[in-house]
Amino acid sequence: MSEVRRDPIIGRWVIVYKPENSLGPADYEKSVHTLKQGAVCQFCNGREAQTPPEVDAIRAGYAPNTPGWLARVVPNKFPALRIEGELNRRGNGVYDMSNGVGAHEVLVETPDHAKNFADYSLDEAVNVIKMYQSRSASLGRDKRFKYIMIFKNFGQSAGASVEHAHSQIIALPLVPKYVAEELEGAEKYYGFRGRCVFCDMIQQEYQDQRRIITSNDGFLSFCPFVPRYPFESWIFPKDHNSDFVSMQDLEREQLAGILKDVLLRMKICLSNPSYNFYLHVKPVDDDNKSYHWHIEIVPQLTRVAGFEWGTGFYVVRTAPSVAAEYLRGAIK
């Protein structure tokens, strides 16, 4: 159904659908652009039979695939990568490629159809984090997978194609480029200075104060000094922490709280924007101690255009100190 291909110049990996599964021009005109709204949502309570059987859930004593769940993970009906089969890595002239093997799951975060994460109860938010951890641990045991990527698209401008509150979990047969670059950069910095570059960054944010949005006992959120997008916001564990999966109850509540908090500030301050967030964690089976996991949140306020596509150089028209001031001011 799909292949994983690597360009021979800069080492970018791409998942490409096979010809027989490819979308034609007409498919893009309507379906891809439009957020499906509607009375009949396959992710709502009572419609469990419309999804593939669940692979994980938080529910109070009912049978799997029946109503009454609080959060529910199901395989994506239209997965970018398929769970079956071997990778079969091979060359094709100047290119490298493999079969599109991986996992692509949907976490239905709450039965409440179109609820914004910003408006979740603390329990609802904690359930989401729990499922992130549980799927990461479970998929990480499959030896074919090198990286578990967790992300959320909220709203049409953020690329969401389904309205019901959900996240996606993709298990990849290799470590994606941006994460690999971060790991390499962090390792180099650690080798050179003996310190975690993210910890140094956090300390610099505390000293400067201007870009801090909010914090609690365990976590800090700030607008990064070198953002790619206006109002981009990051959340870090305050203390050095390279292991997302082993986080316990207290930290989980703290993380759920600050994530809700930052998203609510964005909702207030930016008029309920579309947004993406994603986790950057270390690869499966990597006990690299120099990495510091975190969440990056990107409200979708602008269109990335030719300059950014061509250069990887971003133009950000709101200084992060200004963005942080707005976000701080959104909730007093």
Binding of residue 11 to a copy of itself (CB under 8 A):
yes
Q: Whose Cβ is closer to a copy of itself: residue 42's or residue 156's?
A: 156
Calculate the alpha carbon distances from 210 to 180, 225, 325 in Å: 30, 10, 7
Binding of residue 204 to a copy of itself (CB under 8 A):
yes
Binding of residue 62 to a copy of itself (CB under 8 A):
no
Considering only residues 298 through 327, tell me which ones interact with a copy of itself, judged by CB under 8 A: 298, 301-307, 309-323, 326
Binding of residue 30 to a copy of itself (CB under 8 A):
no
Binding of residue 19 to a copy of itself (CB under 8 A):
yes
Binding residue for a copy of itself (CB under 8 A) from 44, 138, 189, 240? 189
CB atoms within 10 A of CB 295: 23
Binding residue for a copy of itself (CB under 8 A) from 68, 75, 140, 224? 224
Residue indicated by tokens 């609802």: 124
Binding of residue 228 to a copy of itself (CB under 8 A):
yes
Q: Whose Cβ is closer to a copy of itself: residue 123's or residue 208's?
A: 208
The answer to whether 299 and 228 are in contact (CB under 8 A) is: no
Nearest-approach distance from CB 24 to a copy of itself, in angstroms: 7
Strands 294-299 and 233-237: antiparallel
Considering only residues 162 through 181, tell me which ones interact with a copy of itself, judged by CB under 8 A: 168, 170, 172, 176-179, 181
Q: Whose Cβ is closer to a copy of itself: residue 75's or residue 176's?
A: 176
Query: Binding mask 33-52 vs a copy of itself (x if CB under 8 A, - otherwise)?
Result: x-------------------
Residue indicated by tokens 């799927």: 135
Tell me the window of 14-22, 64-72, 124-132, 254-262 that interacts with a copy of itself (CB under 8 A). 14-22
Supply the DSSP string of 101-135, one letter for each residue: B-EEEEEE--SSTT--GGG--HHHHHHHHHHHHHH
Binding of residue 277 to a copy of itself (CB under 8 A):
yes
Strand (E) or helix (H) holding 276: strand 275-280
Considering only residues 76 through 105, tell me which ones interact with a copy of itself, judged by CB under 8 A: 80, 92-95
Neighbouring-strand partners of residue 92 = 95
How far is residue 179's CA from residue 181's CA, in Å, rounded to a whole number?
5
Contacts of 217 (CB under 8 A, 6+ apart): 238, 254
Q: Whose Cβ is closer to a copy of itself: residue 190's or residue 216's?
A: 190
Nearest-approach distance from CB 118 to a copy of itself, in angstroms: 15
Number of residues counted as binding a copy of itself (CB under 8 A)? 99
Tell me the window of 10-18, 43-51, 105-113, 122-130 that interacts with a copy of itself (CB under 8 A). 10-18
Strand (E) or helix (H) holding 245: none
Binding of residue 226 to a copy of itself (CB under 8 A):
yes
How far is residue 194's CA from residue 49's CA, in Å, rounded to a whole number?
53
The answer to whether 157 and 300 are in contact (CB under 8 A) is: yes
Tell me the window of 15-23, 44-52, 121-129, 246-254 that interacts with a copy of itself (CB under 8 A). 15-23
Picking from 294, 177, 180, the residue whose alpha carbon sits closest to that of residue 233 is 294
Binding residue for a copy of itself (CB under 8 A) from 13, 43, 145, 293? 13
2: tokens are 């799909």
323: tokens are 């963005």
Q: Whose Cβ is closer to a copy of itself: residue 69's or residue 229's?
A: 229
Calculate the alpha carbon distances from 125 to 119, 219, 296 in Å: 9, 15, 17
